[in-house]
Amino acid sequence: MNPLLQDFNTAPFSKIEEKHYKPAIKKAINIAKAEIDEIVNNTDKPTFKNTTVALDFAGEKLNRITSIFFNLNSAETNDQIQKIAQEVSPWLSDFKNDITLNEGLFKKVKTVFDNLKNLDLNAEQTMLLEKQYKGFARNGANLKGADKNTLREIDSKLSKLSLQFGENVLAETNAFELHLTNENDVSGLPESAKEAAKQLASEKGKEGWIFTLDYPSYIPFMTYVDNRELRKKIAIAAGKKAFQNNKNNNKKIVLKIVKLRHKRANLLGYKTHAHFVLEERMAENPEKVISFSNELLEKAKPAAKKEFENLEKYAKKLDGIDQLQKWDGAYYSEKLKKEIFDLDQEILKPYFKLENVIDGVFEIANRLYDLQFEEVFNIDKYHEDVKTYKVTDTQGNFIAVFYADFHPRKGKRNGAWMTSYKSQKIKNGVNERPHVSIVCNFTKPTPTKPSLLTFNEVTTLFHEFGHALHGMLANTTYNSLSGTSVSWDFVELPSQILENWCYEKEALELFAKHYETGEVIPMKYITKIKESASFHEGMQTLRQLSFGLLDMKWHSENPSEINSVKEFEIDAFANTKLYPDVAENCISTSFSHIFQGGYSSGYYSYKWAEVLDADAFEFFLEKGIFSKEVATKFKETVLSKGGTINPMDLYKQFRGKEPKPDALLKRAGLLVTK
């Protein structure tokens, strides 16, 4: 019996073997096709119920199976799973095209859509119908025969290429290790990072210390190790991921992806891939994104240049360095920050024991949204590191299942993300609650210390938990409009706004307690955290904008003449460059957000959402960070509504006005007051 084809509530991880995936996905595709055929062959007149709603609920089994498979391909992968992913991705791409290019189905959807004015639909039903119709039109339903086949070919190629891109980056990350045996080589490194590196070496049967490109290993190394040559070595290794002359090189893949995306957009009647993508976002078009980015760039660039010059002077004064390089930035920034604010990240870490931070974010969710989290041990999981929780409200009503996976391991990609194993929807009168997961890569506990987070990791946990709240508090009728199924440049609002609580005394006192003494974080540290929050914000803003503008340049112009990924990138960074270029490094070849994840033409949305979150958090600050009034309003207008209403309308319902960048610029210390 294939466990994936049985009816299940929570994912049956322990019963699933690799051999189950392909037959389950194949069978689920056939079930979904039969559901589609039933809609198409229905001889009754097309209605909202027998067409629009039926289509939204079609493919439920397939969605559940593929969510398990692709989530594991990110969090717990191996060669076999990656091979299966390469095989099944074209099947899924073909199936998607079977739906969007099905003339009989589109005809029915169009019939209902054309009759919209005569249907007595509420806002959510109207949005479902409009999105469904657009989904067909934007994916080729209006194309003629040969063009439809071309679209199928492009989509199949793109799905394989993005998978290959991600596999190459993961292989390159796993291939590098820096093995050190001389104590002098790890001078400057905090004890906790040393201990983790020693543990990694002993796990591999070696003496000394091993460092990798996984963030919990790489970031402390770049921030604290005194040996400049070794920082250079690991920085260059990180920067040349998938840009080396080996089988994992992504240069050709990047060019193939951008050219196919452009061709696809042209085929569908759009000028570029960015024009296609942004039509369905708050930003609407690439011109608006570029103008928004340049407006912020104008404000941030003078500050960034000044910060960089000061950092360069500081490095020269300290160590006689004439030219600051990329492998110097984090190291001297940390030293300067410590000098200015007398704040050492290592002094803060004992106050951020992972378990305490988890309890803290749960308590904050309880105070804001009346949620309660109970760790349970009867839910299947895919790795022993994963924690599982039952989420209820204060009345005891079941809200969600929550999974949390916090530590790095071999089969897990870098970074942090939120995902879902089951979406919320209302079916047959039953409100089916979601199963939501967050995946992070935080320092593991060692024999002598628990997992102690850097402040940056604390904000990462809050960020991903903000996404999780968006998924958990979803309360819509239709699966495709539920939870995080919103405009991509709106999806970061719930995550980024929650990061603000990490800087507030009232919130920090709930969980920032010394792991040995239980002492609450001293007020002087809280003050310093707040004061230092905008340290080097000009440089940080410039960096973030540079990635967004690189993404836009790849996707808002005709890429047919591009031959060199590296030269193109140098040109794209011309206006945001601070550090000298490193010839053997390239960002695009490992820029997974835009070439593997869903952020193509969307990287700007981090900054866009920062404008929203700074503006929204000002409302909380006005009324109190635990204001039930504001929290309830945020829950009812943003967190529970998913994609049922236009995002700007939702935002205005919450805030009473459109957002302005002033709150962000003020928070970042970039607002020039006359």
As annotated, the active-site residues are 464
* C-alpha span between 348 and 522 (Å, rounded): 10
Q: How many CB atoms lie within 10 A of CB 571?
A: 13
Structure-block tokens of residue 35:
């559901």
All residues at 6 or more sequence positions from 572 whose CB lies less than 8 Å from its CB, including other chains: 546, 549, 550, 553, 554
Structure-block tokens of residue 642:
């998913």
Residue of 73, 75, 102, 91 whose CA lies nearest to 25:
91
DSSP 8-state class, residue 53:
I
Q: How many CB atoms lie within 10 A of CB 33?
A: 17
Structure-block tokens of residue 397:
């009503």
- Tokens 């935002």 sit on residue: 651
* C-alpha span between 606 and 604 (Å, rounded): 5
Q: What one-letter code names the amino acid at 639?
A: L
Q: How many CB atoms lie within 10 A of CB 583?
A: 9
* H or E element, residue 571: helix 565-572
DSSP 8-state class, residue 477:
S
At residue 476, the 3 state secondary structure works out as coil
Structure-block tokens of residue 574:
């011309």
Helix ranges (H only) for 409-491 are 455-472
Strands (E), 133-271: 178-180, 209-211
Residue of 31, 45, 123, 73 whose CA lies nearest to 481:
123
Please, what is the angle between helix 565-572 and helix 251-267, to 10°? 70
